[in-house]
Structure 1
Amino acid sequence: MSKVCIPQGYKTPLSVYEMQRAIEFIKSNFQVNLGNALNLRRVSAPLFVEENSGLNDNLNGVERPVSFDIPDVHATGQVVHSLAKWKRLALKRYQFHPGKGLFTDMNAIRRDEVVDNLHSIYVDQWDWEKVILREDRTESYLRQTVRAIMGAVCETNDALDIAFPSLHTRIDRDVYFISTQELEDRFPDLTPKQREDAICREHHTVFLMQIGGNLKRSGQPHDGRAPDYDDWQLNGDILLWNPVLERSFEISSMGIRVDEAALDRQLTASGCDDRRTLPFHRMLLAGELPLTIGGGIGQSRLCMMMIGTCHIGEVQASLWDPETVQTCESAGIMLL
């Protein structure tokens, strides 16, 4: 059974050729706007890391990385899930100073992803990371950064609407901030996903904060977060209301990264104390890595939102199950 939902009366907003032009326009413009907003410089990044380095993102702890042996260097490589940890080490190695950061194109394979309108086994995002001072590890600094990112998003969207007059996507610049506990208290009878839909229906641009720790009512986290990059008290997701799919739409997961105390606390809380012996974690616990804030911003997600497509396969090339292909073909939707 196909997991794809095609909105009634939906038609792809642009021709195939114009779609490619719009995708290129968004990607080239947004990375400039993001770099200017956060004082970031572009760097090169790896497609894979060494298995025992501790640098790969463990996501929710159950996803299997794509691994392969490398005989000539006597190692096993893993295709990255994201660059959440690698970026922090790179800031140290590349000698970035407080107030400056990096961004890069991150391409990943998540073989266990459940594919649907929004999810693909291929992940493309702008990964960014910035060095901060200890006094910047506050919710106020986090909110300031979120507003700067949304400014870059809206500037790109405004320019796209001028370059492609047939597109009329509206994205609200004003951000509504709410914690996962406040959201559970407000909608106690809804599932986490239903809560996100409900709050985005009311406030079209939302930053949902404090993801990872257990909530009071359910005793479960709102959503899974690895214990070794975001501080669960200083992180969150940028959610937009998607009028095409009539649902909440995550474009970014981000946060102030763990310091020594937060890492120690979260490794124990999540039962991941075995990671303390990995090279990255030893450096972090010893205070040898810079304090940072960072995140990932979905490239295909942003293109979907701004162009107004209903399926991620309209803006990126990936693999799909036969039912999805058939459903899209019947609806006149071309998957790249």
Structure 2
Amino acid sequence: MPTVLDKKADLAGPGIGDYKELETVLPRDYRSILTPRETQQAIFQVKRYIEDNLCKELNLMMVEVPLIVDVESGVNDMLDRDGSRTPIQFHISNDRDLHPLDAQVVQAATKWKRVALRQFDCGVGEGICTDMRAVRKDYFLDHDHSAYVDQWDWERVITSEERNLNFLKSIVNNIWKVIVGAERFAQSLFPQLRDSRYPDLPEHLTFIHAEEILNMYPNLPRKQRETAILQNYPAVFIIGIGLPLRDGYPHEMRAADYDDWITDTHLETGRDTHGLNGDILVWNPVTKRRHELTSMGIRVTAETLKQQLTLSKQMDFLQLPYHKAILNNQIPLSVGGGIGQSRTLMLLLRKAHLGEVSVTVWPKILKEMCAQKEIFVLE
């Protein structure tokens, strides 16, 4: 049975424990189906397919997104609420420090997007999509976690009546339709991707609450619970991530100021459940591991923002411009999320490592390990 320390370690962050463990995770006898040249051709065509169809299904428009933000704005994504993942920060002296700025490299555009809905005059049912780039320096660099992050960060205006699980599920199903369609599109471009070793994605997702998974596997830590559920359902959307479950621990940490993880949903589920957010996870047949594609949710209201910041002991955030805008109803209610670009391409193109579809930095030990296993990591 997992100890308290096991569970705390499980919540501390994504990835694998060390490179000895990673060596056992990277597949043996791996040969990429596509050459490096074909991979690049596939990447850009599949990315265009996903962007176009995501905008079509969710009624979004593509917009520019910042790489750096003003520290004082409060719009950078802190990723969690335990302070373990901090952004890169730097000082811009500007005019010999007469008009300086302190800036941060974004970790995601989660909060910026909600403010941007107003900037681009989006009405109910309309939204934005971004080709977002970010840096997350505190990740352990393994086969599917990188310091360089690329996402389709999207956001859409909703009404108060749409703040419910049925609406959330309808949005998730539209996203899943795009991902399944992208797999078919990739295979039409490169028929060799149809390989009996790697089953196609299922037509439909299975929706399941984090509390249900805990009930099914009460003696397993979170990541092992996810692995177990994916043996029965190869693609799932796990609902309710952030509020402590009945064992006293959240399924995973979530920042307190964007996704709503506190709203009571027992009237919709018939059980003691909370949260209007979740993650899409699939079984990756190449790595034979759980594989997260997207994190998303209905965003906090003024009331749920205060509740979540109270629980997280972060009430000082309410002095920041972004948080004040939510309290004063100056930005719209919304739903949004981030879909990992390299994560999705890694899955659809049957790759063993993120470095085969994105260019970033990797430690020498990992590059050598990949080379020994015939994994072509881009330099």
* Match in the other structure for 1:270: 312
Measure, in 2, the Cα distance between the counterparts of 1:159 and 1:14.
15
Measure, in 2, the Cα distance between the counterparts of 1:157 and 1:333.
22
* Match in the other structure for 1:77: 103
Taking the TM superposition and a 5 Å limit, the aligned residue runs for 1:47-126 are 47-60=67-80, 61-72=83-94, 73-126=99-152
Measure, in 1, the Cα distance between the counterparts of 2:191 and 2:365.
34
Q: Alignment partner of 2:175: what SS?
A: helix
Give per-residue Cα distances to partners, 1:133-187, cap 9 Å, x unaligned: 1100000000000000000111111111111011025111211111111110110
Q: CA deviation at 1:35?
A: 0.6
Give per-residue Cα distances to partners, 1:275-321, cap 9 Å, x unaligned: 01001001101111100000000000010000111111111111111
What letter is aligned with 1:178? Answer: I
What letter is aligned with 2:211? Answer: Q
* Match in the other structure for 2:187: 161
* Match in the other structure for 1:19: 39
1:227 pairs with 2:249: no
Measure, in 2, the Cα distance between the counterparts of 1:276 and 1:334.
47
Give per-residue Cα distances to partners, 1:203-256, cap 9 Å, x unaligned: 111000000000112x11110100000001100000111111112110000000
Measure, in 1, the Cα distance between the counterparts of 2:334 and 2:57.
16
Q: TM-score w.r.t. structure 2 length?
A: 0.87
1:314 pairs with 2:314: no
Measure, in 1, the Cα distance between the counterparts of 2:210 and 2:52.
32
Q: CA deviation at 1:70?
A: 1.4
Measure, in 1, the Cα distance between the counterparts of 2:109 and 2:316.
21
Q: Alignment partner of 2:193: what SS?
A: coil
What letter is aligned with 1:222? Answer: H
Give per-residue Cα distances to partners, 1:70-113, cap 9 Å, x unaligned: 12241111000000000000001211000000000110011111
* Match in the other structure for 2:301: 259
Measure, in 2, the Cα distance between the counterparts of 1:310 and 1:46.
30
Q: Alignment partner of 2:352: what SS?
A: coil
What letter is aligned with 1:181? Answer: E
Q: 1:40 aligns with which of 60, 68, 89?
A: 60
Q: 1:137 aligns with which of 159, 163, 169?
A: 163
Q: Alignment partner of 2:151: what SS?
A: strand
1:30 pairs with 2:72: no
Deviates more, 1:63-72 or 1:106-115: 63-72
Q: Alignment partner of 2:144: what SS?
A: coil
Asked if 2 retains the 8 angstrom alpha-carbon contact of 1:201 and 1:248, the reply is no
* Match in the other structure for 1:203: 233
What letter is aligned with 2:252? Answer: D
Measure, in 2, the Cα distance between the counterparts of 1:282 and 1:116.
38
Asked if 1 retains the 8 angstrom alpha-carbon contact of 2:30 and 2:374, the reply is no
Asked if 1 retains the 8 angstrom alpha-carbon contact of 2:28 and 2:373, the reply is no
Asked if 2 retains the 8 angstrom alpha-carbon contact of 1:201 and 1:247, the reply is no
* Match in the other structure for 1:326: 368
Asked if 2 retains the 8 angstrom alpha-carbon contact of 1:132 and 1:292, the reply is yes
Q: Among all aligned residue pairs of Structure 1 and Structure 2, give the percentage whose two residues are the same amino acid.
A: 41
Paired residues, number:
335
Runs of 4+ in 1 over 3 A off after TM superposition: none
Q: Alignment partner of 2:343: what SS?
A: helix
Asked if 1 retains the 8 angstrom alpha-carbon contact of 2:156 and 2:335, the reply is yes
